[in-house]
Every structure is written in structure tokens, then in C-alpha cells.
Amino acid sequence: MLVAHRIRLDPNNVQATYLGRAAGTARFAYNWALNEWQRQYEACKTNPALPKPSEAALRRLLNSIKRKQFPWMLEVTKNAPQLAIMQLGQAFENFFAGRARYPRFRKKGRGDRFSLTNDKFRVEGRSIRIPKLGWVRMRETLRFSGRIVSASVARVAGHWYASITVDTSDSTQPPAENQGAVGMDVGITSLATLSTGEAFEGPKALRNLLTRLRRLSRALSRKVKGSCNRAKAKLKLARLHARIANVRRDSLHQLSNSITRRFHTIGIENLNVMGMLGNRHLARAIADMGFYELRRQLEYKAAWRGGQVVLADRWFPSSKLCSCCGYHLEALDLDVRHWTCPGCGSSNDRDVNAAINLRNMAVSSTASACGGEGSGLAREREAKPAPTKQEFNGKVKTAGFA
């Protein structure tokens, strides 16, 4: 399994200049290749005898002309232009597969980065060796053990980071302490509720940071375009954005660590994040909670310990089923936090009840999966159309005809 550890770098001034130049070279090569791709594509439309553009051919072309036309490229690692063009090829592949938009030109100052293959750099303790530059200090040591696959060096809000990808297939972690199952209901008012009744609040720091964010973005909008003060305000805002992202990521890691360390089987909802982000009002809140990121973390961390994450069907009525007797409510208003079951009279907390249903779903679907090809009723089915109805009340999930 591939995991990445992003480590802050402490370059001196000379090194920071090199990193900026390498990122600039990568950007130039990417844009050059995109431009060349479009030109070749137009050319082969008029003359079908010409070859279609490809990233491999573009890399060869750049290699043959760079010594003459772009001699400054030789000052930085040759990985910078080469891998940038390979990334362009990947971007086109994603575009043709319908996974992404048509590749766009890279802009200076936005996502400045370059990548390195594992034969070109070395990591020792708290240093990383970058070709044609030497050792650069890192703020911490690499957390994962395993084969190092690649690295990418990027500038985020004025700071440099190395994101080092490691293949951890050989390393093993102890299995979960409790071999049991747990259900998790993700929400917005609280980060998540477990079937055990535990509720995880989101990080409190986030709210203060968001207030500051609003103030800073207002301040930025009042600054004169092109002025020095505007540049300063812009960097300040970018730093705050980066800090918010860090706080958020950290809270999700704590949550996913806690759950995967304790439970073997984890039942969660399958949230239609793309559909939900279409809702402007909720977009921030949902992006904040990072549902997708949480699911990603749970999946790889569970896999480390031999555990598993079971996704519920998008139509699984987790909040409308009574976890005690299975009574299925027709409707449940969005602001109802507690309800009494007409079937058995038990009093259900909305989030805990949903989490218990998700745990039961996970248990039953793993039990039937052992019996052969069959999967539980509530298990994810791939061929369904996207849901159209959404439920929002501080807690977001998709609901279909349930």
C-alpha cells in the first residue's frame, strides 16, 4: 500500500531559490508540453498521417531541444521537467477517462511543485538529498518504513514541503484491539458518532480560525490590486488556509486512528460527496468535515491492521430504521434529534441509532460475504443512478426512496 508523509522543509536561502527554480522549470515544461500537445493535436486533425501527441514523445522532443533552447533547465534536476510532462500525460488520461477536466496551464504561485523519482533522492534521518542541491533539513523524520517510491516538493503558503511516498506493503501493524464491529455516523454538528454512543466533536480551534479567515479575506478585498500590502495580506490568508487544513487533517487522523486501533470491522455510510458539494450553502461545512478524506484514512488504516471498512448502500435508511426492532419510519424530519419508535417504544438518539444500524449492516454483510459471492442487502451496489434527494439538518447524508 502506498502512503505519503508530508514533511516541512527548512531550506536556507540558497536552497529555497533552487527549489523555486526547480518548481518553475516543472511548470515551464508542463505548459510547454500542453501547448505542444494542442498544436500536434490540431496538426493531426488536418493531416491524419501525423502521429497523435503522447507524453513519451513530448519528453523525447524536449530532451532533444533543451540543451539549445532552454539551457537553464540543466541547472536543476532533470526529474523536474520530465515528471511534469508525465503528469500531463496522466492528466490527459484522466480527462479521456472522464475523471477530470481538460488539463489547464499551470500558473506561477499556484501549486508550485516538482517531483522526484526514488533513484534521484535519499532520505537520512532529518535530511533529504535533492540532486544538484545537496542535503536539505526536514522538520521531522520519515514516519513510515518501507520502500520509498517517490517524492514531490511543493510550496504551500510560502513554506516548502516534501511529500514522500512509501510502499508499506511489507510493514505490519498489530491487529485491532477489539475484534468487533463498529458503526460510524458522520455529521456536521459533531464530527462523528459511534454505535458505542461515543461522539467525536470537531476541533474547536477550527471555529476561531474560520472567524479569522472571514476577517482576513475581507481585509484582502479592500487592498489595492498590485500593491505591496495586498501581497502581504494574500500570504497571510494563504498561511491561515494552510493552518486550517492542517488542523482539520489532524482531527481526522486522530479519529481514524482511534477507530481502526480499536475495531476490526467499520460500517460507514456511502456519502455522495460530489452531489453534496453542488449545494452552495453546505459546501463549506462538508468540505470542512472532509468526509472523503476520513473514509480514505479509515480504509488504508484498517487495511494495515487486517481490518475492513464496509460501505452502506446509498439508499440504506440508516437514520429511519429502529435499531432495536427494525421498524422503518416513513419520514424523519431533519431537525429531529430524538424519536420514539412506534413499533417497540424505544427512544432513539438520531445519530447513535444510525450508527448502530450501520454496525449491524457491516456485521450482516461480512457474515454473508463469508458464505460466498452473496453480499448483504444493504451492501453498496454499483449500478444505481445517482441519488437526487438529500437530507440536511446539521447532518448530511443522501436518502433515496427509503
**Would you count residue 138 as binding Zn ion (CB under 5 A)?**
no
288 noted as active-site residue: no
Chain centre distance of CA 313: 22
**Would you count residue 349 as binding Zn ion (CB under 5 A)?**
no
Is 26 within 8 Å of 114 (Cβ atoms)? yes
Name the one range near Zn ion by CB under 5 A: 91-99, 120-128, 204-212, 344-352: 344-352
Select 283 or 344, whichever has its Cβ closest to Zn ion: 344
**Would you count residue 343 as binding Zn ion (CB under 5 A)?**
yes
Select 84 or 341, whichever has its Cβ closest to Zn ion: 341
**Would you count residue 392 as binding Zn ion (CB under 5 A)?**
no
Cite the DSSP H helix spans in 5-131: 13-46, 55-69, 79-96
Residue 104, amino acid? R
Select 235 or 344, whichever has its Cβ closest to Zn ion: 344
What are phi and psi for residue 338, nearest 5 degrees?
-135, 145
- What distance in Å separates the CA atoms of residue 242 and residue 190, rounded to the nearest whole number? 22
269 noted as active-site residue: yes
Name the one range near Zn ion by CB under 5 A: 54-62, 184-192, 246-254, 342-350: 342-350
- What distance in Å separates the CA atoms of residue 316 and residue 167, rounded to the nearest whole number? 35
Is 45 within 8 Å of 57 (Cβ atoms)? no
10 noted as active-site residue: no
Q: How many residues of this chain interact with Zn ion, rule: CB under 5 A?
A: 7
- State the Cα angle at 97 between 94 and 98, rounded to 5°: 90
Torsion of CA 268, 269, 273, 275, to 10 degrees: 170
- Least separation in angstroms between residue 324's CB and Zn ion is 4
Site string for Zn ion, 93-122 (x = CB under 5 A): ------------------------------
How many helices (H) and strands (E) the chain has is answered by 9, 16
**Would you count residue 324 as binding Zn ion (CB under 5 A)?**
yes
SS3 breakdown of the chain: % helix, strand, coil, rounded to 5?
45, 20, 35
138 three-class SS: strand
- Least separation in angstroms between residue 336's CB and Zn ion is 15
Among 325, 336, 377, 386, contact with Zn ion (rule: CB under 5 A): 325
Which one of the listed residues 55, 112, 269, 313 is annotated catalytic? 269
Tell the residue number behind the cell numbers 468540505, with chain if given: 287
Which one of the listed residues 55, 112, 185, 299 is annotated catalytic? 185
Select 79 or 348, whichever has its Cβ closest to Zn ion: 348
Select 65 or 344, whichever has its Cβ closest to Zn ion: 344
- Least separation in angstroms between residue 347's CB and Zn ion is 10
**Would you count residue 322 as binding Zn ion (CB under 5 A)?**
yes
**Would you count residue 340 as binding Zn ion (CB under 5 A)?**
no
Torsion of CA 93, 96, 99, 104, to 10 degrees: 70
Select 306 or 326, whichever has its Cβ closest to Zn ion: 326
**Would you count residue 327 as binding Zn ion (CB under 5 A)?**
yes
- Least separation in angstroms between residue 317's CB and Zn ion is 13
- State the Cα angle at 39 between 33 and 43, rounded to 5°: 140
- What distance in Å separates the CA atoms of residue 193 and residue 317, rounded to the nearest whole number? 16
User: Which positions touch Zn ion (CB under 5 A)?
Assistant: 322, 324-325, 327, 341, 343-344
Catalytic residues: 185, 269, 351
